[in-house]
Chains A and B, each alone.
Chain A
Amino acid sequence: MRTLDEDAWIRQKAAEEDGAFVSAGCMMVPAQPLPAATSDTLAARLSLSRFVQLARLKLRLTKEQFAGKAQIPLKELVCIEDDDQYTPTLRTVHMLAQFLKVSHVKMLTLAGLAQAKDAQFNDAAVRFAAMSEPIRQLTREEQEAFDEFAKFLSNR
């Protein structure tokens, strides 16, 4: 086999590769601080963190039970609930949306994996984040805030 020159080599490889998606690594994002997230992104992630935590409390499930029922890694659930700067994987967001019966696209936006289409979304996320302090048991106000936000997320 002869060695191709540089131009012939890249032409051949480009033809074989054919615009393939070639990413290697791991799907999980390392838990290091985000240097430059916008306030909207941070509020959205905080809302995701609180939403998932309150959903779990509402269902009266431990983290292990919730992760099992949602079919997501326990490690990711812990990161989502305890680190509001954590970016979950696409699969986990999909499984959470499916389990909690809310819009996939809105959950992706909360996770910072898609962009909000309108200011209404960011406002709702900020309002929810502000109203839902992480506590062990849901108060009636939290329950209402949770139900209202869940209803908003469920509108596709």
Chain B
Amino acid sequence: MSNGSIPIRLLDLHQDAVVEALLHQGLTEEQIQRAQADWEPVRKQAIETLLERGYPIQELPKHWGWDWTRKISRLGNPLLGFYGLECEGKMQGLLEVAKEGYLAKLPVQKGKPLIYVKYLETAPWNIKILEPKPRFGGIGSRLMRAAIELSLSEDCKGRVGLHSLPGDKKGEPEWFYQHVCKMEPIEAERDGEGLLYFELTAEKAEEFLKGGKS
């Protein structure tokens, strides 16, 4: 992967129209700071609103403390990759991946190298629980596609692994990775926080990229 930006397509949900966007491959300090500054107040306001509405605190999204600016010191590390989806001048999603050091766990591909998603997040205004009328659609899928395409270019055949934030109901992270991305959960690989590990096989990665119903 080389640094740079490529034009991609995103779905503008307000206009129901597919629009031009940019996929940044490699991020600058300024881009991360701007994204954090745009996202953080919206996240915080959303949590207050949900709490005031009586939403059970234990069921709130668990990413409130995330601060992407803490990753700035890792920019330029050749073993990591940073991606951002930009549309209408704002970052709509961010992704950090590790290109080395992670091996597949599923029996069908055990021991083979994969791309590990360290962090993936969409802008708070694209998440239905926080914003009843999300702005752009398919951001999580488009970021996953970037991870798969990196996996292919790094000769990992589309294999991707990650630890999902909790929640397996429709619209929650584990549901997304299992049912939209078709990744397989591996109970035995939960991390120290109890987060469930998911892995994408080469075959499922190909299906994901093609789209359509299998």
A→B interface (CB under 8 Å): 1-4, 6-30, 32, 34-36, 73, 87-91, 94, 104-105, 108, 111-115
Q: Which of B102-110, B149-157, B175-183 contacts A (4 or more CB under 8 A)?
A: B175-183
- Give B130 Cβ to nearest chain A Cβ, in Å: 8
With A and B bound together, what is the CA distance between A35 and B44 in angstroms? 18
User: Helix, strand, loop or mixed for chain B's interface?
Assistant: mixed
Add 19 more A-B contacts to A10-B138, A22-B127, A34-B67 (CB < 8 A).
Answer: A3-B211, A6-B9, A11-B18, A13-B141, A17-B141, A17-B180, A18-B170, A18-B171, A20-B175, A20-B176, A21-B171, A22-B120, A23-B63, A24-B177, A29-B65, A30-B71, A32-B70, A94-B57, A114-B44
> Residues of B within 8 Å of A, CB-based: how many?
71
Q: How far is the CA of A109 from the CA of B117 in the complex (A)?
A: 30
Asked if A28 and B70 make an inter-chain contact with CB atoms under 8 angstroms apart, the answer reads no
Residues A27 and B171 in contact in the complex (CB < 8 Å), given A1-B212, A14-B13, A90-B57: no
> Measured between C-beta atoms, what is the minimum distance from A155 to chain B in Å?
16
> How many Å lie between the Cα of A150 and that of B120 in the bound state?
37
Residue from the list B65, B172, B180, B214 in contact with A16, Cβ < 8 A: B180
Closest-CB distance, B67 to chain A (whole angstroms): 6
Q: What's the minimum C-beta distance from A77 to chain B, rounded to whole angstroms?
A: 15
Residue in B72, B129, B137 whose CB lies within 8 Å of A21 = B129
Query: Quick one: given A18-B171, A20-B127, A89-B62, are A27 and B180 in contact (CB under 8 Å)?
Result: no
